[in-house]
Amino acid sequence: MIDLPQSGRGLEGYSLLAAQVEALLADERDLIANAAQFAAFLFYELDGLSWAGFYFNRDEQLLLGPFQGRVACVRIPFGRGVCGTAAATRQTQRVEDVHAFAGHIACDSASNSELVVPLEKHGRLLGVLDLDSPRHARFSLEDQQGIEALVAIFLRLTDC
Ligand code: SME
C-alpha cells in the first residue's frame, strides 16, 4: 500500500494559502471579523480538521473566540490542556496523540491530534489558534511552519 502524506500539502501549498490569506484579510483590520474569516478559511482549506478557532487571553484564562466545528470549552486556565500549555509557554504545541498529552481537555472525543499556535504581538499574548483533527499525527513539522506563517500574516493584518 502506498503511504500517502496525511496533509497532502507541501511548502508550495502553504505559499498559495499565504497569498489567499493576504487577499482575504486585506480590506479589514477588525479582530473579531478577521478571526472569524481566518478560522473559516483554515477549516475549509486544510483537510482533515474537526475544529479550527481562537481562544483569547482574558486575565490569564483563555476565552473561546470565533471558530468552526462543534461546540467547545468556553474557558481554559493557562497551563491546562494543549491550549493552556501553548498560552503558558508561548510555544507552539504540536501533539500527535492528544490522549497521551497530560491534562488534555477532551472537548470533542473524536479529536486525536492537535496543533496550537500562540498569538503574540508586540510582546503581548493575544491568545491561541487551535486546530484539531480526528486523524492521528495530522500535523507535520511542515504543517506547523506553514500554519505559523499564516498566523503571522493574520497578526500583521489585524488590529489587536
Ligand atoms: N483540546 C483542547 C481544548 C480545546 S478544544 O479541543 C476546542 C486542549 O486540550 O487544549
Query: Can you tell me which atom of ligand 1 is nearest the CA of 85?
Result: 10
Residues near ligand 1 (Cβ within 6 A): 51, 72-73, 76, 81-84, 104-105, 107-108, 111, 114, 130, 132
Length of the chain: 160
Whether residue 3 lies inside any domain: the answer is: no
Is the CB of residue 5 less than 8 Å from the CB of residue 140?
Answer: yes
The cell numbers describing 104, all together, are 488534555
104 CA distance to ligand 1 centroid (A)?
A: 7
Whether residue 4 lies inside any domain: the answer is: no
What domain range is 72 assigned to? Answer: 11-156
Query: Can you tell me which atom of ligand 1 is nearest the CA of 84?
Result: 10
Domain count, the chain: 1
**Alpha helix segments (H runs only) across the chain:** 11-24, 31-45, 81-89, 141-156
Query: Can you tell me which atom of ligand 1 is nearest the CA of 101?
Result: 9
User: What does the pLDDT look like over 56-109, one tens digit per residue?
Assistant: 999 989 999 999 999 999 999 999 999 999 999 999 999 999 999 988 888 878
Residue nearest to atom 5 of ligand 1 (CA): 107
Rounded to 10 deg, the angle between the 141-156 and 11-24 helix axes is 20
Whether residue 104 lies inside any domain: the answer is: yes
- Its pTM surpasses 0.75: yes
Give the largest CA-CA distance in the chain. 50
Q: Which letter, b or e, does each residue of 113-147 get, where b requires 16 or more Cβ atoms within 10 Å of its Cβ?
A: bbbbbbbeeeeebbbbbbbbbebeebbbeebeebb
What CATH number corresponds to the domain at position 84?
3.30.450.40
**Alpha helix segments (H runs only) across 25-160:** 31-45, 81-89, 141-156
pLDDT at residue 7 greater than cutoff 60: no
User: What does the pLDDT look like over 39-69, one tens digit per residue?
Assistant: 999 999 999 999 999 999 999 899 999 999 9
In 3-state terms, what secondary structure has residue 145? helix
Whether residue 5 lies inside any domain: the answer is: no
Judging by DSSP bridges, how do beta strands 124-133 and 113-121 pair with one another? antiparallel
In whole angstroms, what is the distance from residue 116 CA to residue 34 CA? 18
User: What pLDDT score does 123 carry?
Assistant: 95
